[in-house]
Structure 1
Amino acid sequence: MVDSAGKAAHRSSAVADAWSVPNLFPPHRARPKVVVKADLLPAVSVLSTAGLLGIPLGWLWSLMAPAQRERVVTADGQRVPLELESWHRFDDLAIYGFLALATGLLIGVIVWLMRERRGPVVFVAAAAGAALAGWLGTQIGVAFVNSKYAIDTAPALGAVISAAPQLESGWIWVAAPLMTSLVYALLAAWNGREDLGRRLG
């Protein structure tokens, strides 16, 4: 009698479990807070180190950017570009843009690998450092090419000279911080953890 009652109770509990409604509202968990104080000093280091990448960025651009060949057409030194040479104005801008995007990608990935410092503070520092690198690269690169293609003496009439590459749009520096922000945001979304995996560091 006892066994039959126990079996009946077991069957009734099994049926109840089968028809039970799942808990759609799990107990509330406290979300990890944004760490600010502990990340301030690393953020300054990230900003300054990323900004210094503008020096090799500008140097590489000065090596890769093509000069524009121009012919002297007047006695006072007025010049006009040779046929198809004016296309190098776009080439100079495009080469710097690709180099800036690669710099932003590098900054975003390296900063993300700093697992114990993941978060908005270091992210903002990385984006600001990439912006600094992009701006510094434009200044350093133009200075390098101006010294490389400097003309010491007045060219003769009809002479063909190489004019220094130029960056005709000052907004090209935003390519680096945009790429850094995009890479960091994609990696954070792919991670999916509330603390971005800081506690695993």
Structure 2
Amino acid sequence: MRRELRAALAVGVGVLVVGALLGVAWGFLAPAERLIVVADGRGAPLTGESMHRFDALAIFVCLGAGLGLVSAAAAWRARSVRGPLLLVALLLGSFAGAYAMADIGELVAEMRNPRPDDPLVGQIVTLPAEVEAWQALLIQPLLAGLVFLFLAALSTAEDLGTGFTGPFGESRPVRAAEPEPEPAVYTPYPQDTAPDPRWSRPGPSEH
């Protein structure tokens, strides 16, 4: 049980850390949107600039989906600790990692393109990228959970290859199957090679 808790904690923290690092990468990769100030507090996007909002969201979703796929495959490699604890840790770490990726990514994008305080009318300003759809945060944990469950469904072993029958592992080890007894080998009775006198014919010397 302790071993499984340590493995689950390591998986959750690892996914969170990688999500934070991907947030830094997203902050540099996500394109900013340029606007022209038309009035106080109002701006109009330049031609083609409005598509950058979709591009930034698409990059975020791709990074989250990739992390969900890789993290689920990596967690499944921990054969001896497969089970519900590992799945829960993977899901929680994926939720936290997606949130950290969005939060840190927006912070990095804000540092690269700070918002102007009071821009003048006619001035072109650059707005940092944002994760505008909260549904994008669900892609990473959803894909991670589906991949993990898919791999579990493909497993032909009832214990998922852990070597334990219980859901929490070490308390219930699987007993090794006793070897089957070898089949008995029956040896036929030895046959007498001497000829039976009742069936022997007299030779010419006996007449």
Give the TM-score normalised by structure 2.
0.73
Distance across 2 between alignment mates of 1:98 and 1:88: 15
Give the deviation of 1:139 after TM superposition: 0.6
Q: Give the equivalent residue in structure 1 for 2:157.
A: 193
Identity %: 32
SS of 1:161 mapped into structure 2:
strand
**Structure 2: stretches of 5+ with no match in the other structure:** 165-207
Q: Give the equivalent residue in structure 2 for 1:72.
A: 37
Q: Give the equivalent residue in structure 2 for 1:170.
A: 134
SS of 1:199 mapped into structure 2:
coil
Give the deviation of 1:133 after TM superposition: 0.3
Distance across 1 between alignment mates of 2:103 and 2:20: 9
Residue 16 (structure 2) pairs with residue 51 (structure 1) = yes
CA contact (8 A) 1:77 1:157 kept: no
Distance across 2 between alignment mates of 1:49 and 1:110: 11
Determine which of 21, 27, 39 is the counterpart of 2:4. 39
Distance across 1 between alignment mates of 2:44 and 2:128: 14
Residue 146 (structure 2) pairs with residue 182 (structure 1) = yes
Give the deviation of 1:163 after TM superposition: 1.1
Distance across 1 between alignment mates of 2:115 and 2:147: 42
CA contact (8 A) 1:108 1:180 kept: yes
Give the deviation of 1:154 after TM superposition: 4.1
Give the deviation of 1:68 after TM superposition: 0.7
Which has a greater percent of helix?
A: 1
Distance across 2 between alignment mates of 1:39 and 1:164: 42
**RMSD of aligned Cα (Å):** 1.8
Which consecutive aligned stretches of 4+ in structure 1 deviate over 3 angstroms post-superposition?
151-156
Distance across 2 between alignment mates of 1:178 and 1:122: 15
* 1:47-100 deviation line (CA, Å, top 9, x unaligned): 1121112211211111211111111122x3532111221122221111101110
Q: Give the equivalent residue in structure 2 for 1:116.
A: 80
Distance across 2 between alignment mates of 1:98 and 1:83: 25
Give matches, 1:17-166, under 5 Å: 36-74=1-39, 76-151=40-115, 154-166=118-130
Q: Which amino acid aligns with 2:76?
A: W
Structure with higher Rg: it is 2
Give the deviation of 1:152 after TM superposition: 5.6
* 1:131-162 deviation line (CA, Å, top 9, x unaligned): 11001111111111111101466434322222
**Structure 1: stretches of 5+ with no match in the other structure:** 1-35
Q: Give the equivalent residue in structure 2 for 1:33.
A: none
Give the TM-score normalised by structure 1.
0.75
